[in-house]
Amino acid sequence: MSGDLDIAAGRLIEAYRAGQIQPLRDILDPTDAVGAYAVQAINTRRWLESGRRIVGRKVGLTAKAVQTQLGVDQPDFGVLFADMAIPDGGVLPVSNTLQPKVEAEVALIMARDLDVRDATPDMVAAAVDHAVAAIEIVDSRIADWKISFADTVADNGSSAFFVLGEERKPLAGLDLFTCGMVLEINGAIASLGAGAACLGHPLNAAAWLARTLANVGSPLRAGDIVLTGALGPMVPLSPGDRVTATIGGLGKASFSFEGRR
């Protein structure tokens, strides 16, 4: 079985260079979390050996409707690397993507380690330094986004890039439950949402992540970035798009999608 997982990992790595691949269903059952995370771990090790640096984690599948669609009852997570970060107001080259989509999220920056197997939202809040508005650019190496749960987990949570806003806000006084989100593309509203859309509260998503990582021996660390999950529907990107996310109490984050494939 380990050989098959290596094959799946290799296909995903190659897709970054050569383009989209077919779903991994010849190797991974659509709901095989254990196998999918093993594939993700194989590629994480490969990337670390090549010089990439981990700066945090992302939580995905935080919307109940998406979980139902993929036949699961829990979120998933992926690894954030330093080279995924785009400066606020910066440019993402079209050539760096395959079939990208964007979503607005609350990002949390950890002030201290959180190695607690039964972490609660309150514990997370006590360990967080600040929150910022964020945009996640998701992308799939799986052709036409025809993903199963196992496909997206193995594919590092369908991760690609992210943008953090410049305004840093302490959690005290923030309302991350009812905060509104507006995602604009070229000045037109493309997606609307609220904090409650993210597993009922962004801190719920972060607590799930903290518990999950602690249980596999890879806990959240001081300085880690946590992308807690989408506050509204994700939107496809087109060359020339200018994207701005505004989240109540947190401010804005933005980037431009420029160039040719």
Q: Grade residue 2 by pLDDT with cuts at 50, 70 and 90.
A: low
Burial 75-108 (b: 16+ CB within 10 A, else e): bbbbbbbeebbbebeeebebebbbbbbbbbbbbb
Q: Grade residue 143 by pLDDT with cuts at 50, 70 and 90.
A: very high
pLDDT for 211: 97
Q: What are the strands, taking DSSP E only, across the chain?
A: 54-60, 76-81, 85-86, 90-93, 101-110, 128-138, 161-164, 180-185, 188-194, 225-230, 235-236, 242-247, 251-258
Q: Cα dist. 39→48, 199, 246 in Å? A: 14, 26, 35
Question: Domain coordinates of the chain in residue numbers?
Answer: 2-258
Residue % of the chain over a pLDDT of 70: 99
pTM: 0.96
Measured distance CA(214)–CA(74) in Å, rounded? 16
DSSP state of 223: T
Residue range 4-19: mean pLDDT, rounded: 96
CB 259 within 8 A of CB 95: yes
Pairing of strands 128-138, 161-164: antiparallel
HSE-CB for 114 with a 13 A CA cutoff: 30
Nearest partner of 156 among 68, 235, 39, 66, judged by Cα: 39
Examine the pLDDT at 1 and tell me if it is beyond 60. Answer: no
Higher pLDDT, 71 or 177: 177
Q: What CATH superfamily is the domain 2-258? A: Fumarylacetoacetase-like, C-terminal domain (3.90.850.10)
Q: Read off the pLDDT of residues 91-141 as tens digits, 9 standing for 90 and up.
A: 999 999 999 999 999 999 999 999 999 999 999 999 999 999 999 999 999
Average pLDDT, the chain: 95
Q: Read off the pLDDT of residues 34-44 as tens digits, 9 standing for 90 and up.
A: 999 999 999 99
Worst-scoring range by mean pLDDT, 71-75, 144-148, 168-172? Answer: 71-75
CB 98 within 8 A of CB 83: no
What angle, rounded to 10 degrees, do the helices at 2-18 and 33-49 form?
60
Examine the pLDDT at 197 and tell me if it is beyond 80. Answer: yes
Residue 198: Cβ within 10 Å count? 27
